[in-house]
Amino acid sequence: MKIALFDAKPYDKKHFSIDAEKYGYGIRYIEPALSEHTAILARGCDVVCPFVNCTVNSKAIDILKSEGVKLIALRSAGFNNVDYEYAEAAGIPVVRVPAYSPYAVAEHSFALLLALVRKLTHAYVRTREFNFSLTGLVGTDLHGKTIGIIGAGKIGRVAISIAKGFGMRILVHDPFAEDIEGTEKADLERIMSESDIISLYCPLTESNHHIISKKTLGMMKKTALVINTSRGALIDSEALLEALKDKSIGGAALDVYEEEAGIFYQDQSDTGIEDDTLARLISMPNVIITSHQGYLTEDALAAISATTMENIKHFEEGTELINLVK
């Protein structure tokens, strides 16, 4: 099997190269993201392996099919960037990595939360300049605070476990989840109005696009913090910026952004960015943004590679595709 791995970064190559050799597969590492403009680069390959900022639309799928690609093997849990129904109709299965390390993402969300509530980024910059003043660095405890968890899948449940360790009151909104011990099920309105922290752990679907909107932001406490390590389009970025400017919420910590494609995973330090909304969010003192790195641990990268190779092996052998998107 020949694999075209798009949006390839140095940290991808370590585990994929080892696993590909073990399975006897060849990998072509392609730096650009997969799209209708780059799909031709998969010529001669049986499998394409896109990441979250690739756009696998109908035009890209038509090109992939014409070039002989037989399988789309996502190296991510999310699949909102793939027209999987069109791919299925074209006879190209789409498989994914549904669970690589829920701990990596959940832990990162709490790292962001702690950095935000204890003003760690400001403290770090000060001490680097030998400024040891504590003025303006007063934080808040997490113990006793109410956290609203939206999405109680694998990552959400790890986040719930972490929140329990901090002694937090936990509200959970997930229409598909059963009752979870030590938590309270709540509708969206209650989550928004009662939570001190609202953290998102759900996939992006048509029904929850902009679940954090002008309307739901207006329900929140003025001190509420919004944490997002899931998908950028769960939040209306313009509405979030306005709420932060108006001081109608307390702050935000984001590992994802709805228009991150073409910005995240790239070094923009010499050129700057043209996205005014993102630039203004980054400039705000009560906002922390990381570049979609929640998944980025050695453990997660190893698991992503291993599951992707297993998915390809199942396809090659004609056995059940247990991680099929359908």
The per-residue pLDDT for range 169-187, each reduced to its tens digit, is 999 999 998 899 999 999 9
State mean pLDDT over 175-204. Answer: 95
pLDDT (0 to 100) of residue 323: 97
CATH numbers and ranges of domains, the chain: 2-100+298-317 (3.40.50.720), 102-289 (3.40.50.720)
Residue 215 predicted with pLDDT over 90: yes
pLDDT, one tens digit per residue, over 84-143 is 999 999 999 999 999 888 999 999 999 999 999 999 999 999 999 999 999 999 999 999
3-state secondary structure 131-151: CCCCCCCCCCCCCCCEEEEEC
pLDDT, one tens digit per residue, over 293-312 is 999 999 999 999 999 999 99
Give the integer Cα–Cα distance in Å for 100 and 298. Answer: 11
Q: Which two tokens stand for residue 227?
A: 């944490």
The pLDDT-based confidence of 261 (bands split at 50, 70, 90) is: confident
pLDDT (0 to 100) of residue 191: 98
- Give the catalytic positions in this structure: 231, 260, 292
User: What's the distance, Cα to Cα, between the start and end of the chain in Å?
Assistant: 23
pLDDT (0 to 100) of residue 216: 98
pLDDT (0 to 100) of residue 232: 96
Percent of the chain with pLDDT over 70: 100
Residue 202 predicted with pLDDT over 90: yes
pLDDT, one tens digit per residue, over 10-36 is 999 999 999 999 999 999 999 999 999
Dihedral angle sign, alpha carbons of residues 132, 252, 201, 279: negative
pLDDT, one tens digit per residue, over 31-57 is 999 999 999 999 999 999 999 989 999
Mean pLDDT of the chain: 96
Q: How many CB atoms lie within 10 A of CB 22?
A: 10
**Cα-flanking dihedrals φ and ψ of residue 121, to 5°?**
-65, -40
pLDDT (0 to 100) of residue 262: 86
Half-sphere exposure of 298 (CA within 13 A, CB side): 1
pLDDT (0 to 100) of residue 100: 87
pLDDT (0 to 100) of residue 99: 84
Q: To which H or E segment does residue 253 belong?
A: strand 251-254
Contact 170, 164 (CB under 8 A): yes
CA 120 to chain centre: 22
State mean pLDDT over 247-267. Answer: 94
pLDDT (0 to 100) of residue 289: 98
Residue 321 predicted with pLDDT over 90: yes
Q: Which two tokens stand for residue 258?
A: 């709805």
pLDDT (0 to 100) of residue 220: 98
Q: How distant, in Å, are the alpha carbons of 27, 53, 138, 280 from that of 23?
A: 11, 27, 54, 47
Dihedral angle sign, alpha carbons of residues 46, 102, 170, 282: negative
